[in-house]
Amino acid sequence: MDILLAEDQSMLRDALAKLLSLNDEVKHVSLAKDGEEAIQILQLKIFDVVILDIEMPKKTGLDVLEWIRKNKINTKVIIITTFKRCGYFERAINNNIDAYVLKERSIDELMKTIKNVIAGNKEYSPELMENIFTTKNPLTTQEVEILKKISLGLSNKEIAENLHFSNGTIRNYISIILMKLNTNNRLLAVKLAKENGWI
């Protein structure tokens, strides 16, 4: 089988590639140092399996997954990650990920996952399934809407005009959001909400 491995940490990328290549069923492992390079390679060649890290420069593993699905590329996609974040997992599920597993597994377990997805099965780490059902969204619909506006770079004044509220009302909403998410920064609140899949 032909595999594309996208991982920004060079030592881990090279080690994984060597270990995968030792398997008789693996014909070749191509390497990408970030999501953008992975997309460039995918435009030139079809792979049986694409293995993606999530947090990479230029384009994330989730960006690459979305690009693969949008362009209807016939390949199995596995995300390997150290992050047990619900938002990442939900986004992957929404884009029909074949497997979403944690990096702490052995190479033998990864090979089993590869064979599993090639056989047409789905595989998700149990820890991620547990997280997705235990992390509840503390935000109201209106608070989510305001955070979405903040994520677009709108100021309080612009959000107030957009939603037909006064500046004071928006400031109050933002204070409540920051308190609920235990942060003192609008941008950190957006980051936290995105990671948890709340916006």
Residue in the structure block whose two tokens are 């590869």? 114
Residues 75 and 170 occupy one common structural domain:
no
Same domain for 114 and 50? yes
Name which of 47, 50, 22, 30 is nearest 108 in CA terms.
22
State the total domains in the chain.
2
CATH of the domain at 91: 3.40.50.2300
Q: Looking at the structure, tell me whether residues 183 and 148 fall in a common domain.
A: yes
Both 38 and 124 in one domain: the answer is: yes
- Regions of the chain short of the pLDDT cut 50: none
- Single out the residue in 98, 132, 166 at which a domain terminates: 132
The answer on 183 and 101 residing in a single domain is no
In single-letter form, the type of residue at position 103 comes to K
Indicate the pTM of the whole model: 0.69
13 and 48, same domain (yes or no): yes
For residues 149 and 182, give the distance between their C-alpha atoms in angstroms, rounded to a whole number: 19
Could you tell me the sign of the dihedral formed by the alpha carbons of 156, 199, 6, 65, in that order? negative
Percent above pLDDT 90 for the chain: 72
CA distance 37 to 189: 30
Six-digit token string for 25: 């069923």
- Assess whether 104 and 145 both reside in one domain: no
Same domain membership, residue 18 and residue 109: yes
Helix 141-151 to helix 167-180 angle, to the nearest 10 degrees?
Answer: 100
Please check whether residues 15 and 63 belong to one and the same domain: yes
CA 105, 96, 120 angle in degrees (round to 5)?
Answer: 70
Q: Which two tokens stand for residue 36?
A: 């953008």
Residue 48's domain comprises: 2-132
Among residues 108, 132, 156, the one where a domain terminates is 132
- Residue at a domain's end among 94, 115, 132: 132
Residues 123 and 145 in one domain: no
Same domain, 59 and 149: no
> What pLDDT, in 10s, does the model give residues 90-147?
788 889 999 999 888 888 999 999 999 999 999 988 776 665 555 677 888 899 999 9
For the chain, the three-class secondary structure string (H helix, E strand, C coil) is: CEEEEECCCHHHHHHHHHHHHCCCCCCEEEEECCHHHHHHHHCCCCCCEEEEECCCCCCCHHHHHHHHHHCCCCCEEEEEECCCCHHHHHHHHHCCCCEEEECCCCHHHHHHHHHHHHCCCCEECHHHHHHHHHCCCCCCHHHHHHHHHHHCCCCHHHHHHHHCCCHHHHHHHHHHHHHHCCCCCHHHHHHHHHHCCCC
Q: What is the CATH number of the domain that holds 148?
A: 1.10.10.10
Are 51 and 145 found together in one domain? no
